[in-house]
Amino acid sequence: MYAVIDVETTGGSPANDRVIEIAVVVFDGNRITDTFSTLLNPRRPIDPYVTKLTGITNEMVSSAPTFEEVHQRVLELTHESIFVAHNVKFDFGMLRQEYRRLGIDFNRRQLDTVNLARKVLPGFNSYSLGNICDSLGIPITDRHRALGDAEATVKLLELILSKNTSAKYIEIELNHGIDVDLLPPYLSKAEIEKLPEDAGVFYYRDEVDKVIYLDGVKNIRKKVISHVSSLADSPDKKRMFELVRSIDYELTGTELIAKLTAYREYKKLQPEFNKHIKPQVFTHAIYITTDEQGFSQLKIHPVDWNSGECILKFSSKASANKVLSKIIRENNLYSWFAVRSKMKEKGVIEAKGLKNHNSFIEKTIRKYLYRHPSFFIVGEGIHPDEHSVVCIENNTYKGYGYFNPELTPATPENLREIIRTDEDDFETQKIIRAQLRKMKNAKLVVY
């Protein structure tokens, strides 16, 4: 039995957005046996882009039931059925998060008609629901509305099921993407199926329980499946897969904390098959300081210098000089230095010129690190009723922790108390900067 599902939402983030419409069409492989569809009150505004795309307005959902009011019906319709959607990761992720808010762990076997169509019906330029249905002559009524899209997905699924090659690919999909023929010799399918689809660190252990490889990722199960299902294309990888006997994991709430935790664990355990990271100790840094006339300056000093704001740290003075020269050159700071020199020579410091100079220096240097020198990054926690937090103080990583927002207001004073101290170094800064670039809607508490 298949429960074909489509949801419309206030936006694209499971952590922050809510479901505003859901449709469940139960299909037994031959005919539709049940259908459920309703608008939902998300108790938050709908993004204007979503309204333009779907036609669903805030007024339309204001008197609709909440997800809590219909969640039991959805559980009944999907019970012992395969959860099917076109891009199932999105629809399942949104619903799973809605259930997490209710304290329910929602788990279902899943099929993605995007993946299945690519394998069973190859050769199309696009596999978006609208384009693939147009190409196959499948009509869609009410495109970008939950019921219309779900009914079109049923027709696409029916066509896929009619193909002789579908059985093999459906089995792989239902095994969470695991092709059992490619599994390492001593690793069972059950060992992978126990892994959660959450952010965290996974550990490969050998026959004496020693960690031989680890990684911090956004989705533990997905990453491990991808890893073990790929061909062992190097002697080291082949040997690692011959040695691995079990997989352990630690949940972290966010990918950022997963990466930071994995790096800390790597330094402690030094697993045999992890890429070696050469430790780099910070010795010098670029500081932003103010001279006697009030002009902002960029200077290089040892990292223990206690005046000015530390902006970027380096493993040598030569590296710091190289980067500072690059910053000056790329942003044409020479022209601003010339203006500063002229004002100093005249002995008249114009307030507007001083302000413009300092503003440009500040804006320029911030491009190379953080928008704020001291802030907390607030994200999802390990459990539904908690949040995670990463602390940056004076551009230095201090550590991370978890808190219950209902019990602990997210003030700088409170958040400092729950931080677990961690070490800051070159690799840690790389991790944080890379993750912040990915986290476009990161919630920051600036202090």
Give tens-digit pLDDT for 73-99.
Answer: 999 999 999 999 999 989 999 999 999
Does 44 lie in the same domain as 85? yes
Does 18 lie in the same domain as 155? yes
Question: Which pLDDT does position 37 carry in this prediction?
Answer: 97
Spatial neighbors of 332 by CB under 8 A, at least 6 apart, are none
The count of other CB atoms within 10 Å of the CB of residue 6 is: 27
What is the pTM assigned to this prediction?
0.60
Task: Assess if residue 279 is contained within a domain.
Answer: no
Does 436 lie in the same domain as 379? yes
Catalytic residue among 71, 86, 144, 387: 144
Does 13 lie in the same domain as 141? yes
Q: Is 396 exposed, middle or buried (0-12, 13-18, 19+ CB in 10 A)?
A: middle
- Give the Cα separation of 238 and 20 in Å (integer): 47
Q: Is 144 tagged catalytic?
A: yes
Does 222 lie in the same domain as 303? no
Pick the last residue of a domain from 147, 174, 201: 174
**Which CATH number do you get for residue 19?**
3.30.420.10
The count of other CB atoms within 10 Å of the CB of residue 317 is: 14
Using the structure block, give the residue that is written with the tokens 């590296």.
Answer: 319
Spatial neighbors of 44 by CB under 8 A, at least 6 apart, are 10, 18
Spatial neighbors of 136 by CB under 8 A, at least 6 apart, are 121, 156, 159
Give pLDDT < 50 ranges for the chain: none
CB 327 within 8 A of CB 298: yes
Pick the last residue of a domain from 366, 394, 417: 366
Does 341 lie in the same domain as 293? yes
Does 152 lie in the same domain as 17? yes
Task: State the total domains in the chain.
Answer: 4
Task: Assess if residue 195 is contained within a domain.
Answer: yes
Does 290 lie in the same domain as 198? no
**Which CATH number do you get for residue 257?**
3.40.1440.10
Does 87 lie in the same domain as 42? yes
Question: Which pLDDT does position 243 carry in this prediction?
Answer: 95
Please tell me the number of Cα atoms within 13 Å of 6 on its side-chain side: 21
Per-residue pLDDT tens for 162-193? 998 898 888 877 876 676 777 888 888 888 87
Pick the last residue of a domain from 335, 366, 397: 366
The count of other CB atoms within 10 Å of the CB of residue 41 is: 19
Write out the residue range of the structural domain in which residue 422 sits. 375-446
- Give the Cα separation of 118 and 61 in Å (integer): 35
Question: Which pLDDT does position 157 carry in this prediction?
Answer: 96
Does 108 lie in the same domain as 51? yes
Question: Which pLDDT does position 116 carry in this prediction?
Answer: 92
Task: Assess if residue 277 is contained within a domain.
Answer: no
Largest CA distance in the chain: 88
Q: For the stretch 368-378, what's the b/e string if a residue is b when 16 or more beta carbons lie within 10 angstroms of its beta carbon?
A: ebbeebbbbbb
Spatial neighbors of 9 by CB under 8 A, at least 6 apart, are 17, 18, 19, 20, 42, 50, 94
Does 16 lie in the same domain as 88? yes
Question: Which pLDDT does position 114 carry in this prediction?
Answer: 93
Does 144 lie in the same domain as 124? yes
